Amino acid sequence: MEFLTFDIQGDVAIVGLNRPEKRNAISDRFVEELNDVISMAEAGAKAAVIHGHGPHFCAGLDLAEHVQKTPFEGVHGSRRWHEVFARIQHGKLPWFAALHGAVVGGGFELAASCQVRVADETTFMALPEGQRGIFVGGGGSVRCARLIGVARMTDMMLTGRSIDAETAERWNAVQYVVPAGTAVERATEMAARAATNAEITNYAIIHALPRISDMAKEDGLFVESFIASFTATSPEAEDRLRAFLEKRAAKVAAPTGAK
């Protein structure tokens, strides 16, 4: 692979963006490699972590490649990003993004396609497309806007504002802020924990929760009842529930105070 690294640690696939000389900027070939790596992860793991090699997670679209495209080629490229990133958001595995340095433009869009985002203290996020004369094209108008809200995304795009990790957590762009250099470790720990969940439950969380969020209240509650019933009657759920009732499974513990 030219732009990505891939490894499996236990049940967790570790995917690294490996174009540090370009701040891990995303090109067409980059997207195709990512598509292949997603298939590899789904074939051999139960959860996945994506991170960036070098000083940054990802600085977004490779503008040198993009500027040479016709408008119609740009549309096809954008739709391909949508297709591949959707395999992360609505695939077989829970994905954890380990963020550091620049998480900008398409890098933010890629991170937003993951289910959980862990940012170290060096992380900064921006959507500079407005200053480049373009518009988000990797799913940001849907995924990023639903994380941080339309008003905040509008501000970032109109003014070029960048936000640090603490602000990103307040805005719901990330779920965790950790010390510099520890995001991959923390994300891998959480991915390993998620990999122990029942596969059907993880699948329901990944696919049902975002869809229910888009539904009317009563529609969402109706769908929830069917999913709850279906997952609860699976053989694995029965084994886990019996283990809890027989005191063979740990109870929920109080938080330790870590973010």
Amino acid of residue 175: Q
Residue 138 is part of a domain; what is its CATH number? 3.90.226.10
259 within a domain of the structure (yes/no) = no
Instruction: Based on the fold, state whether residues 64 and 168 are members of the same structural domain.
Output: yes
Active site residue 65: no
Give just the sign of the alpha carbon dihedral 25, 29, 32, 38: negative
| 129 part of the active site | yes
Per residue in 122-138, pLDDT (tens digit) is 999 999 988 888 889 99
Mean residue pLDDT across the chain: 92
Residue 255 lies in a domain: no
Residue 131 and residue 239 share a domain: no
Nearest in space to 232 (alpha carbons), one of 195, 200, 187, 192: 200
Find the catalytic residue in 129, 185, 218, 236: 129
Q: Is the pLDDT of residue 8 over 70?
A: yes
The range of the structural domain enclosing residue 235 comes to 199-245
Q: Please determine, for residue 258, whether its predicted confidence score (pLDDT) is greater than 60.
A: no
Q: What are phi and psi of 75, to 5 degrees?
A: -60, -45
Complete DSSP assignment for 214-226: TS-HHHHHHHHHH
Asked if the structure places residue 257 within a domain, the reply is no
- The residue from 42, 73, 109, 238 that is catalytic is 109
The residue out of 176, 195, 214 marking a domain boundary is 195
pLDDT tens-digit profile of 79-114? Answer: 999 999 999 999 999 999 999 999 999 999 999 999
Counting the structural domains of the chain, the total is 2
pLDDT digits (tens, 9 = 90+) for 144-164: 999 999 999 999 999 999 999
What whole-number distance in Å separates Cα of residue 117 and Cα of residue 184? 11
pLDDT digits (tens, 9 = 90+) for 162-211: 999 999 999 999 999 999 999 999 999 999 999 999 999 999 999 999 99
